[in-house]
Amino acid sequence: MKILLLILVILSLAKEDCYKIFGLNKGADLKTVKKQFRKLSLIYHPDKNNSPRAQEKYKTMTNAYQEILQGHANNYDDIKYKNRGQSSNSSDQEDLFKNTYQKQKNTEYQNKKNEIFKGIKFYLFIATILLFWYIVYKVIIFIQDDDNSQNDSENNQQNNEQYQENIKNLQYEEIFN
């Protein structure tokens, strides 16, 4: 237990040191820390400053900046968690209302979508039946036309044969008369 307490004290002192690295007071807002980090980065960044001391300073600044960001994120989560218990009524009621409204909206949308699809399915069914009967009608007409064309060709052949015979008869009559 004493070791855990000692670690917590060291970490809190380290956080204070993080702010001091940037020349800021402990608890400075994140916007100020970010602004100061960028300002000092322009001075100590290895691409700008080749000295080993500057590189070490930049590493320290980066670690401190990461530490501060993590601390702010943890604080935000802690505050959010604490406030959740205090303002649960309004927040939970709003969430409940939003969820209920969203579910109702989704249900209405699904009902409209299903209704539209039922109508489309009905019309597709009717169109399929009509298309089927149209195809049957065309097949029947095609068969009848084929039969008629065969009959016509047979009739034409008979007519042609009779015509030929009539011509022969006429020729015989002319010869014998």
CA 80 to chain CA centroid, Å, is 31
pLDDT value of position 9: 45
Spelled out in words, what is the top-level CATH class assigned to the domain 2-88? mainly alpha
Q: Do 31 and 73 contact (CB within 8 A), yes or no?
A: no
pLDDT value of position 22: 77
pLDDT value of position 6: 46
CA trace torsion 33, 35, 40, 43 (10° rounding): 170
DSSP label at residue 88: H
- Which residues have CB under 8 Å from 128's CB, separation 6+? none
Residue at token pair 């800021």: 24
pLDDT value of position 136: 93
pLDDT value of position 60: 86
pLDDT value of position 13: 45
Q: DSSP states of 11-72 as a string? A: HHHHHHHHHHHTT--TT--HHHHHHHHHHHHHHH-TTT---HHHHHHHHHHHHHHHHHHHHH
- Tens of pLDDT, residue by residue over 69-97, are 887 666 655 555 555 555 555 566 677 77
Q: Which helix (H) or strand (E) holds 101?
A: helix 88-176
Q: Do 69 and 86 contact (CB within 8 A), yes or no?
A: no
Q: What is the pTM of this model?
A: 0.38
What tens-digit pLDDT sequence spans the chain (177 residues)?
566 544 544 555 455 577 888 788 887 888 888 898 898 888 888 888 888 888 888 888 888 888 888 876 666 555 555 555 555 555 666 777 777 778 888 888 888 888 888 888 889 999 999 999 999 999 988 888 777 777 777 777 777 788 888 777 777 666 665
pLDDT value of position 130: 94
Secondary structure (H, E, C), 114-162: HHHHHHHHHHHHHHHHHHHHHHHHHHHHHHHHHHHHHHHHHHHHHHHHH
